[in-house]
């Protein structure tokens, strides 16, 4: 699914175009998404000026004077710019139409969301979907000491704790496997057993992994494309373990193993990543 680097890459793309522009029309072609698109959502934003485009975790926040559109790309979604006269593809469900730009939300599984938060209801970061999210991985507060302190007492596997997003956000399935490999930490290790030294390794590995993904435009898994309609190149350039089952570890040549944790595939090197 689109993870933090993919969502941030999308945000950067739309943030070069949307802010300061009048949204002529928000067209809902298919309201049946993870949560139903509010039936009056177009009335809330049509003819309003976009003030800014932000991100919290894996959520895009398109801000207006009267409120915020909260957009989630779901399991296989993308938000891309298209030509003004380009035909919609199957699974293009939501459409943003500006004077000289047009964007389409493509979501084959319809696990994504487009919701509205009224400014009169308080800060958007207090919305139930956002309020309990952990630190951003590039926040200066995300330090080895912070990570070590917040995993104490947790018996769940470290990979599952990362995926939960309550300590640090945006470390989804793909990049969790990659970061744990960089830190040489076994994905099944109990999070509470993480030492301060290993917390430092993992903290650095998370930020480095996500930064590499940002630089390369994200992954190419499923049909993710960025706001310009281009696929990312993370796997071609950086991927060390993810989706490489039985292939040689690039560090020690041991075959990469695949296990399932919480119904999600985990890839690791059994030699480099010992419990």
Report the alpha-carbon distance of residue 112 to residue 71 in Å, rounded: 7
SS3 label, residue 25? strand
Query: Which sequence positions are flagged as catalytic?
Result: 2-3, 58, 264
| Rg of the chain (C-alpha set) | 20
Hunting for tokens 């290790």 — which residue is that? 189
Give the Cα separation of 181 and 223 in Å (integer): 25
Structural tokens at position 4: 């933090």
Tokens of 168: 């640090």
Any bridge partners for residue 96, and if so which?
26, 103
DSSP 84: T
Return phi, psi of residue 109, to 5°: -90, -10
Q: Which two tokens stand for residue 217?
A: 């435009």
């Amino acid at each position: 699914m689109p993870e933090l680097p993919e969502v941030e890459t999308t945000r950067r793309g739309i943030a070069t175009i949307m802010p300061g522009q009048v949204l002529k029309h928000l067209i809902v072609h298919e309201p049946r998404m993870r949560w139903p698109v509010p039936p009056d959502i177009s009335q809330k934003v049509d003819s309003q000026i976009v003030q800014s485009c932000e991100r919290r975790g894996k959520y895009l926040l398109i801000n207006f004077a009267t409120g915020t559109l909260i957009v989630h790309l779901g399991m296989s979604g993308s938000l891309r710019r298209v030509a003004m006269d380009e035909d919609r593809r199957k699974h293009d469900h939501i459409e943003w139409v500006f004077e000289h730009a047009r964007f389409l939300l493509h979501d084959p599984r319809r696990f994504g969301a487009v919701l509205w938060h009224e400014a009169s209801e308080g800060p958007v970061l207090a919305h139930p979907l956002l309020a309990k999210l952990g630190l951003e991985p590039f926040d200066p507060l995300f330090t080895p000491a912070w990570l070590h302190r917040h995993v104490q007492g947790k018996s769940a596997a470290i990979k599952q704790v990362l995926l939960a997003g309550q300590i640090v956000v945006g470390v989804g399935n793909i990049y969790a496997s990659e970061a744990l490999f960089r830190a040489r930490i076994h994905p099944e290790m109990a999070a509470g057993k993480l030492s301060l030294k290993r917390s430092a390794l993992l903290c650095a590995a998370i930020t480095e992994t996500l930064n590499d993904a940002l630089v390369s435009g994200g992954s190419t898994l499923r049909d993710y494309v960025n706001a310009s309609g281009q696929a990312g190149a993370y796997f071609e350039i950086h991927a060390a373990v993810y989706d490489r089952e039985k292939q040689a570890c690039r560090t020690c040549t041991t075959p990469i193993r695949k296990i399932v944790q919480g119904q999600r595939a985990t890839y690791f090197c059994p030699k480099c990543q010992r419990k």
